[in-house]
Amino acid sequence: MIKMLSIAAAALASVAVASPSFAQSFSPSSGSVSGSGSVTLSQTISVTCNVSITASPLSATSAPIPTRSISPGGIACLAVAPSGAWSAAVVPGSTTSIALTIGANTVANDPCYGTVVVAWNNATSTATFNNNVLPPVNAGGRNCTIVSGSIRIPGLQIL
């Protein structure tokens, strides 16, 4: 009987110790954060655009991004605009990646939208894109690829 209780207690203790490692969260976990950067988007042509965002209100694991803008980093970017509801979320079990739900209406007027998991660097509070593919919004549409770039969000970390 004592041996059975010992095994049960050990199993319960191992679950209690293992659980926190999967509980990633944003820090801060309330309020808002803003950031900006530059990305290269490719669909029918490649364009470099400046992106600015404000995520608010932050929760422990997600944040809507109601304020976002895309402005020219290159002349062709004049025709690119944000599309769909943007948001950010932690990736369970990871402090080195972040899930972003984003979209753009492109130069070809062929919007794309979806969730991509991108590299996250806590030391610099930066999301880095590397050939991340967004699916088309319309049937028969073309994918968009965020070829490269980064967005720095000062003060945001994943714990």
pLDDT tens, 104-132?
A: 999 899 999 999 999 999 999 999 999 99
Average pLDDT, the chain: 88
More confident residue, 64 or 20: 64
Is the previous residue joined to 136 through a cis bond, with omega within 30 degrees of 0? no
Degrees to nearest 5, angle at CA 128 with 135 and 38: 85
Q: Identify whether the C-beta of residue 28 lies closer than 8 Å to the C-beta of residue 51.
A: no
pLDDT tens, 46-98?
A: 999 999 999 999 999 999 999 999 999 888 899 999 999 999 999 999 999 99
Question: Under CATH, which number does the domain 24-158 receive?
Answer: 2.40.160
What number of other Cβ atoms are within 10 A of residue 34's Cβ?
15
pLDDT of residue 23: 81
Segments in the chain forming alpha helices (H): 2-18
Give dist(CA 47, CA 74) in Å, integer.
Answer: 7
